[in-house]
A and B are shown apart, each in its own frame.
Chain A
Amino acid sequence: MQDQALFEYVLRLADDSLILGQRLGEWCGHGPILEEDIALTNISLDLIGQAISLYDLASELEGAGKNHDQLAYLRFENEYKNVLLVEQPNGDFAMTILRQFFFDAFRLPLYEALMQSPVAQLAAIAAKSVKETRYHLKHTSEWVIRMGDGTDESHERAQAAIDHLWRYTSELFFEDNIDEQLQERQLVPSLKGIQANWMETVKAVLSEATLTIPTNNWKFEGGRQGRHSEHMGYILADLQYMQRAYPNMEW
């Protein structure tokens, strides 16, 4: 391996996209109205597309001759490095939209910064994904505002989703020596700045939605190091089913 740190970094991005895309895929055919069913699937498709590009880059960096599917499908649970937020169950529409909103508000400034990365392939993926993500954030923000400032029931559901998901948001800005090393080499941005930007977006949208930010900032973390929630095993059972049940076949 040429660049273990960069490989790990890209893998984290890829796993976030894959697992969230996988979760959104569960909605297909079950959305609250046809128009929104189609919208959620579009976001899922963007995320799966991003995951493919990111895994391609990761496999190039790894240099072990694995393709994107082998990376996406054939690791053990503790080798997936996505944040806990993206593996949380869809719950109701409010839970799904808030999960997506928190993620989009993080991904947008991150991609914007990564566009400046001297790692050309990463900058290119960021440049393509930033447009998709800007749209996702717009769409999820619209919905957060409508739910928050809609009916009593929608307000309650949105607030409950925020209260539940808040514990998983700090992990978005988790940094360890992989990040430090890459930041020192000026290949990736510091997540401190991204976090400030995220907080600004969250505050603005939640305030327009008449929703409140929880005061309990106790953190749930572990995903970035491969320690997941109980949900992850089931996600992988579905995701990997075909590859595990029928090893070494092409589909």
Chain B
Amino acid sequence: MTQAEQERRFLDKIDREIKIEPNDWMPDEYRQTLIRQISQHAHSEIVGMLPEGNWITRAPNLRRKAVLLAKVQDEAGHGLYLYSATETLGADREQLMDDMHSGKAKYSSIFNYPALTWADIGTIGWLVDGAAIMNQVALCRTSYGPYARAMVKICKEESFHQRQGYESLMKLCNGTPQQKAMAQDAMNRFWWPALMMFGPSDAESTHSDQSIKWKIKRFTNDELRQSFVDATVSQAEILGLTIPDPNLKWNEERGHYDFSEINWEEFWQVVKGNGPCNKERIAARLKAKQEGLWVREAANAFAKKRAMKKSA
């Protein structure tokens, strides 16, 4: 079959909503785009463990401690499912992680912001996992089979993440004035970074067009961001929290909420490594990798020894 024929077949499958599977022919650029996007997503899950993980030892009661442990553990699982999906495309987990450590590969910028108070944990669950879910639900129908299947599994697990965050904030918002203020402070710090999670505006986004055509992405960054704002406003109202945007208001004509322009300079600065915690996050992941090196070597050496014994 000629390259052109294969390409036509591939596009035909995409048109007819037939999933692309690992051994199917695919354009090289499709493969590279997927590896880039899925690994970036995987890195986000793993780096995302750090800000929340930093509160595990300080969780205010045993139930919250267990919930937080289970939640952060899930994120490790998500990272693992996603790395596995990249490996069906011929990528290698360790290599991908090295690319993140070197700064070549990115992860979601939100995790470069610090988790300073206990209210941040609830807020991350509500807003950050909430924004992630908005993205992930859309990706359950992505054109690449293993990615879509990983997303379905992840979405099932994610549903408790947002709820536990919201429930935790509910406690604060119905608690003492001090607790309520803590929640509002977290909201003030996380609102804009949460909106930035959807990435650059459609006008600026370099990869969007092709990804939409290939049905890797099903909605644009701005569409998802708008859905998130629309969904979140009433949730904030129920908590009694104020969204830190004086221009936020319902637009009857559009049927959506209007909101202020994002501070794109901050966005790009954080992407480029100048967020409050970029260095710490990478340093923590690199440390885990390096300190795990001898452990992984030991297990390999043991497996080899046992295999030799068996065959001897």
Contact = CB atoms under 8 A, between A and B. Distances in A.
A60 interface: no
Interface string B292-305: 11111111111001
Given A31-B292, A243-B60, A146 B76 contact: no
Contact of B294 (A41, A51, A72, A157): A157
Interface residues of B, number: 48
Contacts of B238: none
Contacts of A249: 175-176, 178-179
Nearest to B49: A29
Contacts of A93: 291-292, 295
B298 A69 contact: no
Contacts of B62: 18, 48, 51-52, 55, 68-69, 72
Interface in B64-84: 64-66, 69-70, 72-73, 76-77, 79-80, 83
Interface stretch (B29-37, B51-59, B269-277): B51-59
B76 A246 contact: no
A26 interface: yes
Interface residues of A, number: 49
B171 A238 contact: no
B162 interface: no
A32 B60 contact: no
A200 interface: no
Interface string B38-53: 0000000010011001
A135 interface: no
B302 A242 contact: no
Contacts of B171: 250-251
Given A69-B61, A242-B58, A246-B178, A41 B301 contact: no
Contact of B72 (A41, A72, A151): A41
Contacts, number: 141
B193 to A, nearest CB: 20
B295 A37 contact: no
B76 A25 contact: no
B13 interface: no
A174 interface: no
Given A25-B69, A41-B73, A150-B301, A238 B58 contact: yes
A36 B176 contact: no
A113 B102 CA distance: 53
A151 B118 contact: no
A138 to B, nearest CB: 16
B168 interface: yes
Interface of A: 18, 22, 25-26, 28-38, 41-42, 44-45, 48-49, 51-52, 55, 68-69, 72-73, 92-93, 145-147, 149-151, 153-154, 157, 235, 238-239, 241-243, 246, 249-251
30 contacts: A29-B50, A29-B284, A31-B288, A31-B292, A32-B291, A32-B295, A33-B292, A36-B295, A41-B73, A44-B69, A49-B66, A55-B62, A68-B62, A69-B61, A72-B62, A147-B298, A151-B294, A153-B297, A154-B294, A154-B297, A235-B57, A242-B59, A242-B60, A242-B118, A246-B60, A249-B178, A251-B64, A251-B168, A251-B172, A251-B175
Given A28-B76, A34-B80, A242-B58, 10 more contacts: A29-B49, A33-B295, A34-B46, A51-B62, A52-B66, A69-B62, A93-B291, A150-B299, A151-B298, A250-B175
Interface of B: 46, 49-50, 53, 56-66, 69-70, 72-73, 76-77, 79-80, 83, 118, 168, 171-172, 175-176, 178-179, 284, 287-288, 291-302, 305
